[in-house]
C-alpha cells in the first residue's frame, strides 16, 4: 500500500477515466498492431539489410515509447486515454500488440499519440511497469527517459566492432525529443496497423559521420525529427 | 504591565510552537522549516519501508561484483559522505571524477549531484548504481539478485504488501531511507529554538554574524544550502577539466557552476569542493578570501572580495562547528543494520 500509492492512484485514475470522461464510456477495444519493417521486409534481429545509401546494416535493438493516445470524439472534443505509456520492442512479439479501451461514441477522425515520454513523466521520479527504469530506457546520469533506441552494426561505421548506437531522448528545452503523430481512422475502425520502417531512418543517416548519439541535445532532437518519418499506417 | 504580561505569554506560546515538528508518518521536520520539495504523500515513509531502504543502502549486492554499497562512499559518521577521498572510488578500485556529496535533508533538494543532472530524489540512486566507476550494475540485475533472497522478499512484502520486487520499489525503498536522514539538532538549531545546549558563546555569535554577512546568501538558513548552481571561483583542475552544470544544460553560462552544498555537519564532511581539493575548512575560508578566480560566470556574490581578519576567520570556523549534529551522525537507526548479517 505504502510505496504502491503511485500505482494505486494511477490505477484509480485509470479506472475513473476508463469509466467516464465527460460522460464517455470507455468500453470498446481498439487494437494497435505494430509492424516493424525494413522497406518491405519484416525486421529481424541480426539480419543483413542494405540501405538506399548502400550501407550494409544489422539491427540488435529497436525500442521506443508511444504514449498519450487521443481519439477524436463527436462535438469536436478529444478523448485522452491516460496512463498509457507503451514500450515497444521490435524484436519482442508480445509488445507489438496493444489494446486500448476507447469511447463508444467516437466519430471518425483521428488517432493521435506521442513518440516518447513527456517532460511531466520525466520529472516524476521512479515509475512502474513499462516506465520502470529496469527496462533500460532511462538515463541515470541525467534524469529522463530514452524515447527510442536503435542499435546495430554496419561496416560503414568507423567504430569499435562497427557499432552504431542511437539513443534519442531529452525533454528539456531547447531540445525536447517527444514528437506527436496523427493518423486518420474511420468511425467504426477497431484496429490500426502501425508500420515502423527503420529503413526510412537509416536512409537519411550518414553512418560514416553519425553513428553514436547517446545524450540529449541538438543531434538527438534532429534524430527525433527523423524518427517520426518511420511511422505510417496500413 | 498588562502589555508586558501579554507579550510574555505570547512569547511562551511562540516558543512552544517553534519546538513543534511536522510529522508525516515517520518523516519529521521542524515546523519552522520550509515545506519539503519532495512530496512524501507519494511515497509515505513507514518503518518497514525505511528498514528496507536501510538494508539496501548498506548491502554491497547493489554493485556488480557485490563489493561496494552506497555506504562505501556515504559513511554516517562523516555526514554520509566519503571522508578522506577527494574523488570517490568504485568497484575494482576505479576512481570517479567528483567528491561524493553528503546525504542529508534530501527532501529539500530539487536536483541532485554536483551538476544537478538528477531531477528527482527517487531516481538519484540510479546514477551511482549504473556508473562504470562506481557500482557498475544495472537496476534490472539488482532486482534479479534480490529476487533470489528470501530476506528481501519478506522485506519488500512488509514495505509494499507484495513481495514482488521491481525497480520502482527498490528505488522507493532507498528513497524512504534517504528521506529519514534529516539533521536539525545541532547546537545551532538548539540556539535558534532557544533550547538547552544551544547557548552560543560570544565567539559563536560573532561567527554567526559574519556568516550571515558573508556566506548566507548562498548557504541559506536553515538548510545552509540553496538549490542553485554557482561558480565559486575555483581554478579549473586540468587533470579533470570538469565544467560542472554546463555538461547538463549545454549552456556556456553554466560553465564551472556546481551545486551549492549544505554546510550542515561541515566539520566532518571533508574534503571539500566538488573535486575534494581542500582538506580543511581553513583552506576553504582562505579560498573565499584570497583565492577566488575572476571568470565570466563567477557568482555575483563573490565578485566583491570577502575580507576577514584572522580573528574573524577563527570566529567563523567556530560557528561552522555549531552545525555539527551528533544526534544525527551517531543515530543508530541510520547505521549498518545487523539484520543484514543475522537474517539475510
- pLDDT tens for A166-183 read 999 999 999 999 999 999
How sure is the predictor about A2, in pLDDT bands with cuts at 50, 70 and 90? very low
**Residues of chain B with C-beta less than 8 angstroms from the C-beta of A4:** 160-162
Sign of CA dihedral A169, A171, A176, A182: positive
B47-182+328-342 and B187-324: same fold? yes
Residue A13: what pLDDT? 42
pTM recorded for the entire structure:
0.87
How sure is the predictor about A104, in pLDDT bands with cuts at 50, 70 and 90? low
Assess contact for B90 and B62: CB atoms under 8 A.
no
Between A60-64, A68-72, A221-225, B280-284, the lowest mean confidence (pLDDT) is in A68-72
Residue B17: what pLDDT? 46
Q: Which residue, chain included where needed, has cell 481498439?
A: A30
Beta bridge partners of A64: A88, A148
Residues B123, B129: Cα–Cα separation, whole Å: 10
Residue A209: what pLDDT? 93
Check B160 against A1: CB less than 8 A apart.
yes
* B168-185 average pLDDT score: 98
Beta bridge partners of B123: none
- All structural domains of chain B with their residue ranges: 47-182+328-342, 187-324
**Residues of chain A with C-beta less than 8 angstroms from the C-beta of B27:** none
Residues B113, B105: Cα–Cα separation, whole Å: 14
C-alpha cell at A119: 517532460
Mark which residues 160-219 of A lie under 8 Å from B by CB: 172, 217
pLDDT at residue A5 greater than cutoff 80 = no
Between A5-19, A204-218, B96-110, B213-227, the lowest mean confidence (pLDDT) is in A5-19
Residue A1: what pLDDT? 43
Beta bridge partners of A98: A32
Pairing of strands A78-89, A56-73: antiparallel
pLDDT at residue A75 greater than cutoff 70 = no
Residues B51, B337: Cα–Cα separation, whole Å: 8
Interface test with chain B among A10, A120, A125, by most B beta carbons within 10 Å: A125
Between A64-73, A145-154, B8-17, the lowest mean confidence (pLDDT) is in B8-17
CATH number of B47-182+328-342: 1.10.760.10
Burial of B238 (0-12, 13-18, 19+ CB in 10 A): exposed
* B122-146 average pLDDT score: 95
Residues B32, B29: Cα–Cα separation, whole Å: 9
Residue B292: what pLDDT? 96
Residue B295 DSSP SS3: coil
- pLDDT tens for B195-237 read 999 999 999 999 999 999 999 999 999 999 999 999 999 999 9
How sure is the predictor about A107, in pLDDT bands with cuts at 50, 70 and 90? low
* B306-318 average pLDDT score: 97
Residue A110: what pLDDT? 83
Residue A14: what pLDDT? 43
- pLDDT tens for A35-52 read 999 998 999 998 999 999
- All structural domains of chain A with their residue ranges: 5-233
Q: What is the pLDDT of chain A when averaged over all its residues?
A: 86
How sure is the predictor about A80, in pLDDT bands with cuts at 50, 70 and 90? confident
How sure is the predictor about A83, in pLDDT bands with cuts at 50, 70 and 90? low
**Residues of chain A with C-beta less than 8 angstroms from the C-beta of B49:** 2-3
Residues A107, A74: Cα–Cα separation, whole Å: 5
Which residues, 6+ apart, have CB-to-CB distance to B66 below 8 Å?
B60
pLDDT at residue A20 greater than cutoff 80 = no
Residues A216, B28: Cα–Cα separation, whole Å: 37
Residue B309, min C-alpha distance to chain A (Å): 42
Residue A232: what pLDDT? 95
- Neighbour-count burial for A185-194, b at 16+ CB within 10 Å, e otherwise: beeeeeebeb
Pairing of strands A138-139, A144-153: antiparallel
**Residues of chain B with C-beta less than 8 angstroms from the C-beta of A132:** 166-168
C-alpha cell at A17: 477515466
* ipTM > 0.85 for the complex: no
Residues B320, B224: Cα–Cα separation, whole Å: 11
The number of CA neighbours under 13 Å toward the Cβ of B126 is 32
Domain B187-324: give its CATH architecture. Answer: Orthogonal Bundle (1.10)
Which residues, 6+ apart, have CB-to-CB distance to B315 below 8 Å?
B203, B204, B206, B207, B210
In degrees and rounded to multiples of 5, residue B113 shows phi and psi of 80, 160
* B306-311 average pLDDT score: 96
Residue B97: what pLDDT? 86
- The pLDDT > 90 percentage for chain B reads 84
User: What Cα–Cα distance (Å) separates residue A160 from each residue in A151, A201, A215, B98, B121?
Assistant: 13, 22, 19, 28, 36
pLDDT at residue B9 greater than cutoff 70 = no
Shortest CB distance from A133 goes to which of B117, B121, B123?
Answer: B123
pLDDT at residue A23 greater than cutoff 90 = no
How sure is the predictor about A76, in pLDDT bands with cuts at 50, 70 and 90? low
Beta bridge partners of A194: A34, A233
Q: Please state whether the peptide bond connecting residue A234 to the residue before it is cis, i.e. omega within 30 degrees of 0.
A: no
pLDDT at residue A215 greater than cutoff 50 = yes
Q: A104 CB near a chain B CB, below 8 Å?
A: no
Residues A29, A32: Cα–Cα separation, whole Å: 10
pLDDT at residue B18 greater than cutoff 80 = no
If you compute the radius of gyration of chain B from its CA atoms, what whole number of angstroms results?
21
Q: Which residues of B touch A (CB under 8 A)?
A: 41-44, 46, 48-49, 117-123, 126-127, 129-131, 138-140, 143, 159-162, 166-169, 171-173, 175-176, 248-250
Check A2 against B127: CB less than 8 A apart.
no
Q: A141 CB near a chain B CB, below 8 Å?
A: yes
Residue A209 DSSP SS3: coil
- pLDDT tens for A196-214 read 999 999 999 999 999 999 9
pLDDT at residue A73 greater than cutoff 80 = no
Residue A108: what pLDDT? 67
Residue A206: what pLDDT? 92
pLDDT at residue B92 greater than cutoff 60 = yes
Q: What is the pLDDT of chain B when averaged over all its residues?
A: 92
pLDDT at residue A18 greater than cutoff 70 = no
How sure is the predictor about B176, in pLDDT bands with cuts at 50, 70 and 90? very high
pLDDT at residue A17 greater than cutoff 50 = no
Check A144 against B176: CB less than 8 A apart.
no
In degrees and rounded to multiples of 5, residue B233 shows phi and psi of 85, 15
How sure is the predictor about A22, in pLDDT bands with cuts at 50, 70 and 90? very low
* A120-146 average pLDDT score: 94
Interface test with chain A among B168, B174, B245, by most A beta carbons within 10 Å: B168
pLDDT at residue A53 greater than cutoff 90 = no
Pairing of strands A26-38, A191-197: parallel
Amino acid at each position: 500500500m505504502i510505496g504502491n500509492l503511485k500505482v494505486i492512484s494511477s490505477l484509480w485514475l485509470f479506472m475513473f477515466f476508463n469509466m467516464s470522461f465527460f460522460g464517455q464510456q470507455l468500453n470498446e477495444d481498439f487494437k494497435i498492431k505494430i509492424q516493424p519493417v525494413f522497406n518491405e521486409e519484416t525486421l529481424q534481429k541480426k539480419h543483413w539489410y542494405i540501405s538506399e545509401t548502400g550501407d550494409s546494416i544489422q539491427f540488435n535493438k529497436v525500442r521506443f515509447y508511444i504514449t498519450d493516445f487521443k481519439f477524436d470524439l463527436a462535438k469536436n472534443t478529444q478523448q485522452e486515454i491516460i496512463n498509457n505509456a507503451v514500450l515497444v520492442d521490435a524484436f519482442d512479439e508480445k509488445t507489438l500488440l496493444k489494446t486500448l479501451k476507447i469511447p463508444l461514441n467516437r466519430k471518425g477522425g483521428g488517432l493521435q499519440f506521442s513518440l516518447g515520454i513527456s517532460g511531466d513523466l520525466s520529472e516524476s521520479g521512479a515509475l512502474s511497469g513499462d516506465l520502470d527504469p529496469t527496462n533500460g530506457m532511462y538515463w541515470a546520469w541525467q534524469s529522463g527517459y530514452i524515447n527510442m533506441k536503435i542499435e546495430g552494426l554496419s561496416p560503414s561505421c568507423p567504430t569499435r566492432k562497427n557499432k552504431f548506437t542511437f539513443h534519442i531522448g531529452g525533454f528539456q528545452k531547447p531540445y525536447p525529443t517527444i514528437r506527436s503523430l496523427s493518423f486518420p481512422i474511420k468511425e467504426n475502425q477497431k484496429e490500426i496497423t502501425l508500420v515502423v520502417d527503420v529503413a526510412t531512418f537509416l536512409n537519411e543517416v550518414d553512418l560514416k559521420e553519425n553513428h553514436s548519439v547517446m545524450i540529449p541535445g541538438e543531434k538527438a532532437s534532429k534524430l527525433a525529427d527523423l524518427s517520426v518519418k518511420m511511422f505510417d499506417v496500413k | 504591565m498588562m502589555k508586558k504580561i501579554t507579550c510574555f505569554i505570547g512569547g511562551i506560546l511562540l516558543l512552544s510552537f517553534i519546538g513543534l515538528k511536522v510529522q508525516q508518518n515517520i518523516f519529521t521536520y521542524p515546523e519552522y522549516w520550509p515545506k519539503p520539495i519532495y512530496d512524501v504523500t507519494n511515497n509515505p515513509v513507514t518503518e518497514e519501508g525505511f528498514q528496507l531502504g536501510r538494508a539496501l543502502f548498506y548491502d554491497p549486492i547493489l554493485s556488480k561484483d557485490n563489493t561496494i554499497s552506497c555506504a562505501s562512499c556515504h559513511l554516517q559518521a562523516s555526514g554520509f559522505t566519503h571522508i578522506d577521498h577527494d574523488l570517490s572510488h568504485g568497484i575494482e578500485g576505479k576512481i570517479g571524477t567528483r567528491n561524493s556529496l553528503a546525504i542529508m535533508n534530501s527532501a529539500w533538494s530539487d536536483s541532485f549531484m554536483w551538476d544537478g543532472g538528477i531531477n528527482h530524489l527517487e531516481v538519484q540512486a540510479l546514477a551511482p548504481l549504473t556508473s562504470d566507476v562506481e557500482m557498475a550494475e544495472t537496476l534490472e540485475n539488482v532486482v534479479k539478485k534480490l529476487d533470489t533472497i528470501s530476506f528481501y522478499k519478506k522485506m519488500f512484502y512488509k514495505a509494499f504488501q507484495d513481495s514482488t520486487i521491481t525497480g520502482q520499489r527498490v528505488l522507493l525503498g532507498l528513497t524512504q531511507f534517504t528521506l529519514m536522514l534529516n539533521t536539525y539538532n545541532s547546537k545551532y538549531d538548539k540556539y535558534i529554538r532557544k533550547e538547552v545546549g544551544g547557548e552560543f558563546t560570544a565567539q559563536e555569535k560573532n561567527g554567526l554574524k559574519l556568516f550571515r554577512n558573508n556566506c548566507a546568501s548562498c548557504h541559506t538558513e536553515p538548510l545552509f544550502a540553496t538549490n542553485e548552481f554557482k561558480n565559486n571561483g575555483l581554478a579549473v583542475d586540468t587533470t579533470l577539466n570538469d565544467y560542472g552544470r554546463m555538461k547538463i544544460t549545454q549552456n556556456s553560462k553554466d560553465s564551472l557552476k556546481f551545486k551549492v552544498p549544505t554546510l550542515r555537519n561541515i566539520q566532518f564532511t571533508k574534503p571539500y569542493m566538488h573535486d575534494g581539493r581542500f582538506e580543511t575548512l581553513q583552506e576553504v575560508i582562505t579560498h573565499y578570501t584570497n583565492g577566488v578566480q575572476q571568470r565570466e560566470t563567477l557568482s555575483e556574490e563573490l565578485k566583491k572580495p570577502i575580507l576577514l581578519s584572522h580573528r574573524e576567520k577563527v570566529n567563523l570556523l567556530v560557528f561552522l562547528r555549531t552545525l555539527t549534529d551528533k544526534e544525527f551522525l551517531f543515530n543508530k537507526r541510520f547505521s549498518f543494520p545487523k539484520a543484514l548479517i543475522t537474517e539475510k
